Structure 1
Amino acid sequence: MTATRLRADALRNRERIIAAARETMVEFGDEVPLDEIARRAGVGNATLYRHFADRRELIHHVTLSVMARTADRAESALAEESDAFQALRRFVHDAVEERVGALCPLLSDSIDLSHPDLLAARARLEAAIEAVMRAARDSGRLRTDIAVGDLMVALTQLARPLPGWGHRSTSGGGCSGFDRFVHRHLQLFLDGLLAPARSELPGTAATLEDLKRCQV
Protein backbone atom coordinates (compact mmCIF):
# COMPACT_ATOMS: atom_id res chain seq x y z
CA MET A 1 0.00 0.00 0.00
CA THR A 2 1.47 3.37 -0.98
CA ALA A 3 2.18 6.25 1.38
CA THR A 4 -0.33 8.35 -0.57
CA ARG A 5 -3.05 5.75 0.06
CA LEU A 6 -2.16 5.67 3.74
CA ARG A 7 -2.44 9.43 3.98
CA ALA A 8 -5.83 9.34 2.22
CA ASP A 9 -7.09 6.64 4.60
CA ALA A 10 -5.84 8.61 7.59
CA LEU A 11 -7.61 11.74 6.34
CA ARG A 12 -10.87 9.85 5.92
CA ASN A 13 -10.55 8.45 9.45
CA ARG A 14 -9.91 11.94 10.80
CA GLU A 15 -12.95 13.35 9.02
CA ARG A 16 -15.13 10.48 10.26
CA ILE A 17 -14.00 11.08 13.84
CA ILE A 18 -14.78 14.81 13.64
CA ALA A 19 -18.20 14.15 12.09
CA ALA A 20 -19.00 11.55 14.74
CA ALA A 21 -17.89 13.91 17.48
CA ARG A 22 -20.23 16.63 16.17
CA GLU A 23 -23.15 14.21 16.15
CA THR A 24 -22.55 12.69 19.55
CA MET A 25 -21.88 16.00 21.27
CA VAL A 26 -25.23 17.30 20.02
CA GLU A 27 -26.94 14.15 21.24
CA PHE A 28 -25.17 13.56 24.55
CA GLY A 29 -23.23 16.72 25.42
CA ASP A 30 -19.54 17.56 25.25
CA GLU A 31 -18.64 15.00 27.93
CA VAL A 32 -19.67 12.06 25.74
CA PRO A 33 -17.13 9.23 26.20
CA LEU A 34 -14.43 9.26 23.55
CA ASP A 35 -14.88 5.53 23.00
CA GLU A 36 -18.49 6.26 21.97
CA ILE A 37 -17.20 8.77 19.42
CA ALA A 38 -14.72 6.19 18.12
CA ARG A 39 -17.47 3.58 17.90
CA ARG A 40 -19.75 5.97 16.00
CA ALA A 41 -16.89 6.82 13.63
CA GLY A 42 -16.17 3.14 13.00
CA VAL A 43 -12.58 3.33 14.24
CA GLY A 44 -10.70 2.00 17.24
CA ASN A 45 -9.80 4.08 20.27
CA ALA A 46 -6.14 3.94 19.26
CA THR A 47 -6.98 5.56 15.92
CA LEU A 48 -8.88 8.37 17.63
CA TYR A 49 -5.98 9.11 19.98
CA ARG A 50 -3.51 8.93 17.10
CA HIS A 51 -5.32 11.90 15.54
CA PHE A 52 -6.38 13.78 18.69
CA ALA A 53 -4.33 13.73 21.87
CA ASP A 54 -7.25 14.57 24.14
CA ARG A 55 -10.83 15.82 24.30
CA ARG A 56 -9.81 19.48 24.13
CA GLU A 57 -7.95 18.96 20.86
CA LEU A 58 -10.90 17.09 19.39
CA ILE A 59 -13.33 19.85 20.41
CA HIS A 60 -10.98 22.40 18.82
CA HIS A 61 -11.20 20.59 15.50
CA VAL A 62 -14.95 20.09 15.78
CA THR A 63 -15.26 23.86 16.20
CA LEU A 64 -13.10 24.50 13.14
CA SER A 65 -15.17 22.02 11.14
CA VAL A 66 -18.48 23.63 12.10
CA MET A 67 -17.19 27.10 11.24
CA ALA A 68 -15.79 25.95 7.88
CA ARG A 69 -18.94 24.09 6.91
CA THR A 70 -21.12 27.05 7.88
CA ALA A 71 -18.94 29.40 5.81
CA ASP A 72 -19.21 26.95 2.89
CA ARG A 73 -23.00 27.14 3.14
CA ALA A 74 -23.01 30.95 3.15
CA GLU A 75 -20.68 31.14 0.15
CA SER A 76 -22.68 28.52 -1.79
CA ALA A 77 -25.99 30.24 -1.10
CA LEU A 78 -24.68 33.59 -2.33
CA ALA A 79 -23.10 32.07 -5.43
CA GLU A 80 -26.03 29.88 -6.45
CA GLU A 81 -29.14 31.93 -5.64
CA SER A 82 -30.21 34.69 -8.04
CA ASP A 83 -32.31 36.40 -5.38
CA ALA A 84 -30.16 37.90 -2.62
CA PHE A 85 -32.76 37.58 0.13
CA GLN A 86 -33.43 34.00 -0.89
CA ALA A 87 -29.69 33.40 -0.48
CA LEU A 88 -30.00 34.72 3.08
CA ARG A 89 -33.01 32.49 3.74
CA ARG A 90 -31.17 29.48 2.38
CA PHE A 91 -28.09 30.18 4.47
CA VAL A 92 -30.05 30.59 7.70
CA HIS A 93 -31.93 27.33 7.21
CA ASP A 94 -28.75 25.53 6.10
CA ALA A 95 -26.77 26.81 9.07
CA VAL A 96 -29.22 25.12 11.43
CA GLU A 97 -28.20 21.79 9.94
CA GLU A 98 -24.71 22.40 11.34
CA ARG A 99 -26.29 22.35 14.81
CA VAL A 100 -24.82 25.72 15.75
CA GLY A 101 -27.51 26.31 18.35
CA ALA A 102 -26.67 23.15 20.25
CA LEU A 103 -22.91 23.16 19.71
CA CYS A 104 -22.00 26.77 20.44
CA PRO A 105 -22.83 26.72 24.16
CA LEU A 106 -21.23 23.29 24.52
CA LEU A 107 -17.93 24.16 22.87
CA SER A 108 -17.37 27.81 23.81
CA ASP A 109 -15.77 27.04 27.18
CA SER A 110 -13.49 24.34 25.78
CA ILE A 111 -11.60 26.19 23.05
CA ASP A 112 -8.81 28.75 22.84
CA LEU A 113 -10.52 31.74 21.22
CA SER A 114 -7.14 33.28 20.37
CA HIS A 115 -5.78 30.24 18.49
CA PRO A 116 -4.56 31.32 15.00
CA ASP A 117 -6.55 28.59 13.22
CA LEU A 118 -9.72 29.63 15.02
CA LEU A 119 -9.14 33.31 14.26
CA ALA A 120 -8.70 32.50 10.56
CA ALA A 121 -11.82 30.33 10.49
CA ARG A 122 -13.82 33.01 12.25
CA ALA A 123 -12.60 35.70 9.82
CA ARG A 124 -13.68 33.60 6.85
CA LEU A 125 -17.08 32.86 8.42
CA GLU A 126 -17.67 36.52 9.27
CA ALA A 127 -16.78 37.62 5.75
CA ALA A 128 -19.08 35.01 4.20
CA ILE A 129 -22.07 35.98 6.35
CA GLU A 130 -21.44 39.68 5.87
CA ALA A 131 -21.39 39.17 2.10
CA VAL A 132 -24.78 37.41 2.14
CA MET A 133 -26.32 40.13 4.31
CA ARG A 134 -24.76 42.94 2.27
CA ALA A 135 -26.20 41.51 -0.94
CA ALA A 136 -29.66 41.19 0.64
CA ARG A 137 -29.42 44.73 1.99
CA ASP A 138 -28.26 46.12 -1.36
CA SER A 139 -31.22 44.46 -3.03
CA GLY A 140 -33.53 46.54 -0.84
CA ARG A 141 -35.18 43.53 0.78
CA LEU A 142 -33.25 43.35 4.06
CA ARG A 143 -34.07 45.99 6.65
CA THR A 144 -31.14 48.31 7.29
CA ASP A 145 -31.08 48.21 11.10
CA ILE A 146 -29.80 44.60 11.27
CA ALA A 147 -26.15 43.58 11.60
CA VAL A 148 -24.36 40.25 11.48
CA GLY A 149 -24.40 39.98 15.25
CA ASP A 150 -28.20 40.18 15.29
CA LEU A 151 -28.41 37.34 12.80
CA MET A 152 -25.99 35.12 14.70
CA VAL A 153 -27.70 35.68 18.06
CA ALA A 154 -31.09 34.81 16.58
CA LEU A 155 -29.74 31.81 14.70
CA THR A 156 -28.03 30.42 17.78
CA GLN A 157 -30.94 31.04 20.11
CA LEU A 158 -33.72 29.83 17.83
CA ALA A 159 -31.86 26.62 17.01
CA ARG A 160 -30.93 25.86 20.64
CA PRO A 161 -33.04 23.06 22.15
CA LEU A 162 -35.28 24.04 25.05
CA PRO A 163 -34.45 22.67 28.52
CA GLY A 164 -35.44 19.03 28.59
CA TRP A 165 -35.48 18.87 24.77
CA GLY A 166 -31.78 19.02 24.17
CA HIS A 167 -29.11 16.36 23.95
CA ARG A 168 -30.09 12.89 25.02
CA SER A 169 -28.53 11.17 27.96
CA THR A 170 -26.66 7.95 27.39
CA SER A 171 -29.71 6.18 28.82
CA GLY A 172 -31.71 7.38 25.83
CA GLY A 173 -33.73 10.18 27.45
CA GLY A 174 -34.63 13.51 25.91
CA CYS A 175 -36.92 14.45 23.07
CA SER A 176 -35.94 14.08 19.43
CA GLY A 177 -38.88 16.08 18.03
CA PHE A 178 -37.61 19.62 18.62
CA ASP A 179 -36.03 20.00 15.19
CA ARG A 180 -39.37 20.10 13.44
CA PHE A 181 -40.16 23.44 15.09
CA VAL A 182 -36.85 25.14 14.34
CA HIS A 183 -37.37 25.87 10.65
CA ARG A 184 -40.85 27.28 11.35
CA HIS A 185 -39.40 29.71 13.89
CA LEU A 186 -36.53 30.64 11.61
CA GLN A 187 -39.00 31.45 8.84
CA LEU A 188 -40.91 33.77 11.18
CA PHE A 189 -37.63 35.46 12.11
CA LEU A 190 -36.64 35.87 8.45
CA ASP A 191 -40.01 37.41 7.61
CA GLY A 192 -39.24 39.99 10.29
CA LEU A 193 -36.03 40.94 8.47
CA LEU A 194 -37.82 41.99 5.30
CA ALA A 195 -37.86 45.64 4.28
CA PRO A 196 -39.74 47.85 4.75
CA ALA A 197 -39.49 47.32 8.51
CA ARG A 198 -42.82 47.16 10.33
CA SER A 199 -41.44 48.48 13.61
CA GLU A 200 -38.44 50.29 15.06
CA LEU A 201 -36.04 48.07 16.94
CA PRO A 202 -34.90 49.17 20.40
CA GLY A 203 -31.21 49.79 20.95
CA THR A 204 -28.58 49.43 18.25
CA ALA A 205 -27.65 46.66 15.86
CA ALA A 206 -25.44 43.94 17.33
CA THR A 207 -22.09 43.71 15.62
CA LEU A 208 -19.63 40.84 15.69
CA GLU A 209 -17.39 42.98 17.88
CA ASP A 210 -20.21 43.19 20.41
CA LEU A 211 -20.43 39.39 20.47
CA LYS A 212 -16.67 39.02 20.84
CA ARG A 213 -16.68 41.33 23.86
CA CYS A 214 -19.34 39.14 25.45
CA GLN A 215 -17.03 36.12 25.09
CA VAL A 216 -14.17 37.72 27.00
Structure 2
Amino acid sequence: MSTATTPAPRKAPRPRADAVRNRERIVTAAREMFVEHGPDVPLDEVARRAGVGNATVYRNFPDREALVREVVCSVMDRTAEAAEAALTETGDAFTALEHFVHTAADERISALCPMISDTFDQHHPDLEASRERVEQLVEEVMGRAKAAGQLRSDVGVGDLLIVVSQLSRPPAGTDCGRGDRFVHRHLQLFLDGLRAPARSALPGTAVTIEELRAC
Protein backbone atom coordinates (compact mmCIF):
# COMPACT_ATOMS: atom_id res chain seq x y z
CA MET A 1 0.00 0.00 0.00
CA SER A 2 1.55 3.25 -1.08
CA THR A 3 1.11 6.50 0.76
CA ALA A 4 0.73 9.73 -1.13
CA THR A 5 3.20 12.42 -0.23
CA THR A 6 2.57 16.10 -0.57
CA PRO A 7 5.26 17.70 -2.67
CA ALA A 8 7.27 20.33 -0.85
CA PRO A 9 6.38 23.87 -1.90
CA ARG A 10 8.78 25.29 -4.44
CA LYS A 11 10.88 28.15 -3.26
CA ALA A 12 10.80 31.33 -5.27
CA PRO A 13 13.94 31.51 -7.39
CA ARG A 14 16.57 33.88 -6.08
CA PRO A 15 17.24 36.81 -8.40
CA ARG A 16 20.44 36.53 -10.38
CA ALA A 17 23.40 38.52 -9.09
CA ASP A 18 23.48 40.68 -12.21
CA ALA A 19 19.77 41.46 -11.80
CA VAL A 20 20.37 42.58 -8.21
CA ARG A 21 23.29 44.74 -9.31
CA ASN A 22 21.22 46.33 -12.08
CA ARG A 23 18.46 47.20 -9.65
CA GLU A 24 20.94 48.76 -7.24
CA ARG A 25 22.52 50.76 -10.06
CA ILE A 26 19.12 52.05 -11.14
CA VAL A 27 18.23 53.15 -7.60
CA THR A 28 21.62 54.84 -7.13
CA ALA A 29 21.38 56.67 -10.45
CA ALA A 30 17.79 57.72 -9.75
CA ARG A 31 18.72 59.06 -6.32
CA GLU A 32 21.51 61.18 -7.79
CA MET A 33 19.35 62.53 -10.60
CA PHE A 34 16.31 63.19 -8.42
CA VAL A 35 18.50 65.28 -6.11
CA GLU A 36 20.06 67.12 -9.04
CA HIS A 37 16.98 67.66 -11.20
CA GLY A 38 13.86 66.67 -9.25
CA PRO A 39 11.52 63.68 -9.63
CA ASP A 40 10.43 64.53 -13.19
CA VAL A 41 13.80 63.61 -14.73
CA PRO A 42 13.22 61.36 -17.79
CA LEU A 43 13.55 57.70 -16.90
CA ASP A 44 15.63 57.07 -20.01
CA GLU A 45 18.19 59.49 -18.51
CA VAL A 46 18.16 57.43 -15.31
CA ALA A 47 18.73 54.30 -17.41
CA ARG A 48 21.61 55.96 -19.24
CA ARG A 49 23.36 56.98 -16.02
CA ALA A 50 22.79 53.52 -14.54
CA GLY A 51 24.27 51.93 -17.65
CA VAL A 52 21.21 49.79 -18.36
CA GLY A 53 18.52 49.72 -21.01
CA ASN A 54 15.09 51.32 -20.63
CA ALA A 55 13.50 47.89 -20.54
CA THR A 56 15.58 46.98 -17.48
CA VAL A 57 14.29 50.05 -15.65
CA TYR A 58 10.66 49.22 -16.40
CA ARG A 59 11.17 45.54 -15.60
CA ASN A 60 12.23 46.54 -12.09
CA PHE A 61 9.92 49.54 -11.65
CA PRO A 62 6.65 49.54 -13.59
CA ASP A 63 6.13 53.28 -13.16
CA ARG A 64 7.77 56.44 -11.83
CA GLU A 65 5.93 56.18 -8.51
CA ALA A 66 7.48 52.78 -7.81
CA LEU A 67 10.97 54.09 -8.54
CA VAL A 68 10.55 57.23 -6.43
CA ARG A 69 9.22 55.14 -3.56
CA GLU A 70 12.16 52.74 -3.79
CA VAL A 71 14.65 55.62 -3.80
CA VAL A 72 13.09 57.25 -0.73
CA CYS A 73 12.91 53.91 1.11
CA SER A 74 16.55 53.17 0.29
CA VAL A 75 17.62 56.55 1.66
CA MET A 76 15.59 56.05 4.84
CA ASP A 77 17.04 52.55 5.23
CA ARG A 78 20.59 53.92 4.98
CA THR A 79 19.66 56.60 7.50
CA ALA A 80 18.41 53.86 9.82
CA GLU A 81 21.68 51.97 9.35
CA ALA A 82 23.55 55.12 10.38
CA ALA A 83 21.45 55.27 13.54
CA GLU A 84 22.15 51.58 14.23
CA ALA A 85 25.87 52.25 13.79
CA ALA A 86 25.61 55.12 16.29
CA LEU A 87 23.99 52.79 18.81
CA THR A 88 26.87 50.33 18.51
CA GLU A 89 29.47 52.99 19.33
CA THR A 90 30.77 52.37 22.81
CA GLY A 91 32.29 55.79 23.41
CA ASP A 92 30.73 59.16 24.06
CA ALA A 93 26.94 59.07 23.48
CA PHE A 94 26.76 62.63 22.18
CA THR A 95 29.58 62.00 19.73
CA ALA A 96 27.59 59.05 18.40
CA LEU A 97 24.58 61.36 17.96
CA GLU A 98 26.77 63.83 16.07
CA HIS A 99 28.02 61.10 13.75
CA PHE A 100 24.46 60.06 12.99
CA VAL A 101 23.27 63.61 12.25
CA HIS A 102 26.09 64.35 9.82
CA THR A 103 25.63 61.01 8.04
CA ALA A 104 21.88 61.53 7.77
CA ALA A 105 22.45 64.93 6.20
CA ASP A 106 24.72 63.39 3.57
CA GLU A 107 21.89 61.07 2.52
CA ARG A 108 19.89 64.14 1.42
CA ILE A 109 16.73 62.71 2.90
CA SER A 110 15.32 66.24 3.05
CA ALA A 111 15.60 66.60 -0.72
CA LEU A 112 13.97 63.26 -1.48
CA CYS A 113 11.12 62.87 1.01
CA PRO A 114 9.08 65.82 -0.36
CA MET A 115 8.75 63.81 -3.57
CA ILE A 116 6.16 61.69 -1.81
CA SER A 117 3.44 64.26 -2.46
CA ASP A 118 -0.31 64.01 -2.64
CA THR A 119 -0.01 62.17 -5.94
CA PHE A 120 1.78 59.28 -4.22
CA ASP A 121 0.62 56.76 -1.66
CA GLN A 122 2.17 58.25 1.46
CA HIS A 123 0.92 55.32 3.52
CA HIS A 124 2.40 52.58 1.38
CA PRO A 125 3.54 49.75 3.71
CA ASP A 126 7.16 50.01 2.54
CA LEU A 127 7.27 53.75 3.27
CA GLU A 128 5.59 53.33 6.65
CA ALA A 129 7.99 50.56 7.68
CA SER A 130 11.09 52.54 6.66
CA ARG A 131 9.85 55.71 8.35
CA GLU A 132 8.95 53.95 11.61
CA ARG A 133 12.34 52.22 11.71
CA VAL A 134 14.16 55.53 11.36
CA GLU A 135 12.03 57.24 13.99
CA GLN A 136 12.47 54.46 16.53
CA LEU A 137 16.23 54.29 16.07
CA VAL A 138 16.68 58.06 16.28
CA GLU A 139 14.68 58.04 19.50
CA GLU A 140 17.07 55.41 20.89
CA VAL A 141 20.16 57.40 19.87
CA MET A 142 18.78 60.54 21.51
CA GLY A 143 17.60 58.60 24.56
CA ARG A 144 21.09 57.28 25.18
CA ALA A 145 22.57 60.78 25.01
CA LYS A 146 19.89 62.07 27.39
CA ALA A 147 20.52 59.21 29.82
CA ALA A 148 24.21 60.16 29.81
CA GLY A 149 23.27 63.72 30.76
CA GLN A 150 24.76 65.08 27.52
CA LEU A 151 21.62 65.99 25.57
CA ARG A 152 19.25 68.64 26.83
CA SER A 153 15.98 67.14 28.02
CA ASP A 154 13.61 69.60 26.34
CA VAL A 155 14.12 68.40 22.74
CA GLY A 156 12.33 65.59 20.96
CA VAL A 157 12.90 63.40 17.92
CA GLY A 158 10.76 65.76 15.85
CA ASP A 159 13.01 68.70 16.75
CA LEU A 160 16.09 66.86 15.53
CA LEU A 161 14.54 65.58 12.29
CA ILE A 162 13.07 68.97 11.39
CA VAL A 163 16.39 70.77 11.78
CA VAL A 164 18.38 68.08 9.94
CA SER A 165 15.84 68.34 7.12
CA GLN A 166 15.99 72.12 6.99
CA LEU A 167 19.77 72.44 7.23
CA SER A 168 20.53 69.71 4.68
CA ARG A 169 18.60 71.50 1.96
CA PRO A 170 18.51 73.01 -0.75
CA PRO A 171 15.80 70.70 -1.99
CA ALA A 172 15.87 68.49 -5.07
CA GLY A 173 16.28 70.16 -8.41
CA THR A 174 18.43 73.06 -7.22
CA ASP A 175 22.17 73.63 -7.30
CA CYS A 176 22.97 71.52 -4.24
CA GLY A 177 26.72 71.65 -4.78
CA ARG A 178 27.11 75.29 -3.83
CA GLY A 179 25.37 74.81 -0.49
CA ASP A 180 27.15 71.63 0.52
CA ARG A 181 30.04 73.47 2.15
CA PHE A 182 27.66 75.11 4.62
CA VAL A 183 25.65 72.05 5.66
CA HIS A 184 27.98 70.41 8.16
CA ARG A 185 29.16 73.74 9.57
CA HIS A 186 25.59 74.76 10.40
CA LEU A 187 24.66 71.30 11.62
CA GLN A 188 27.52 71.46 14.11
CA LEU A 189 26.31 74.84 15.34
CA PHE A 190 22.90 73.25 15.91
CA LEU A 191 24.38 70.22 17.64
CA ASP A 192 26.36 72.42 20.02
CA GLY A 193 23.04 73.99 21.01
CA LEU A 194 21.68 70.55 21.95
CA ARG A 195 24.31 69.89 24.58
CA ALA A 196 23.37 69.73 28.23
CA PRO A 197 23.29 71.72 30.39
CA ALA A 198 21.08 74.02 28.36
CA ARG A 199 21.96 77.71 28.45
CA SER A 200 18.39 78.89 27.87
CA ALA A 201 14.80 77.66 28.01
CA LEU A 202 13.21 76.77 24.70
CA PRO A 203 9.79 78.26 23.91
CA GLY A 204 6.99 75.76 23.46
CA THR A 205 7.37 72.01 23.95
CA ALA A 206 9.47 69.28 22.36
CA VAL A 207 8.21 68.25 18.93
CA THR A 208 6.95 64.68 18.88
CA ILE A 209 6.84 62.27 15.96
CA GLU A 210 3.04 62.58 15.89
CA GLU A 211 3.26 66.37 15.54
CA LEU A 212 5.93 66.04 12.88
CA ARG A 213 3.75 63.74 10.79
CA ALA A 214 0.82 66.12 11.11
CA CYS A 215 2.79 69.02 9.60
TM above 0.5: yes
1:167 aligns with 2:176: no
Q: Give 3-state SS (helix, strand or coil) of 1:37's partner.
A: helix
Deviations 1:122-179 (A, max 9, x none): 22111111110000000101000000000000000011117xxx635xxxxx462210
Gaps of 5+ in 1: 169-173
Deviations 1:25-74 (A, max 9, x none): 00011111101111111111010000001101101111110111100001
Q: CA RMSD in A?
A: 1.6
**What's 2:137 paired with?**
128
* TM superposition shift of 1:119: 1.6
**What's 2:5 paired with?**
none
- When structure 1 is superposed on structure 2, of 20-29 and 103-112 the one drifting more is 103-112
**What's 1:171 paired with?**
none
**What's 2:73 paired with?**
64
Report percent identity of matched pairs.
60
Work out whether residues 104 and 156 of structure 1, in 8 Å CA contact, stay in contact via their aligned partners in 2: no
**What's 2:186 paired with?**
185
1:93 aligns with 2:97: no
The number of aligned residues is: 203
Work out whether residues 36 and 176 of structure 2, in 8 Å CA contact, stay in contact via their aligned partners in 1: no
CA–CA separation in structure 1 for the residues paired with 2:73 and 2:168: 19
CA–CA separation in structure 2 for the residues paired with 1:107 and 1:189: 27
1:207 aligns with 2:208: yes
Q: Give 3-state SS (helix, strand or coil) of 1:177's partner.
A: helix
For 1:37-76, list aligned pairs within 5 A: 37-76=46-85
When residues 44 and 180 of structure 1 are mapped into structure 2, their CA distance, relative to the original with a 3 A threshold, is: same
Deviations 1:68-90 (A, max 9, x none): 11000010122024111001000
CA–CA separation in structure 2 for the residues paired with 1:175 and 1:66: 17
**What's 2:196 paired with?**
195
Counterpart among 156, 166, 172 of residue 157 in structure 1: 166
When residues 175 and 139 of structure 1 are mapped into structure 2, their CA distance, relative to the original with a 3 A threshold, is: closer
When residues 110 and 180 of structure 1 are mapped into structure 2, their CA distance, relative to the original with a 3 A threshold, is: farther
CA–CA separation in structure 1 for the residues paired with 2:79 and 2:118: 20
Structure 2 length-normalised TM: 0.89
Letter matched to residue 106 of structure 1 = M
Work out whether residues 169 and 176 of structure 2, in 8 Å CA contact, stay in contact via their aligned partners in 1: no
When residues 76 and 123 of structure 1 are mapped into structure 2, their CA distance, relative to the original with a 3 A threshold, is: same
Gaps of 5+ in 2: 1-12
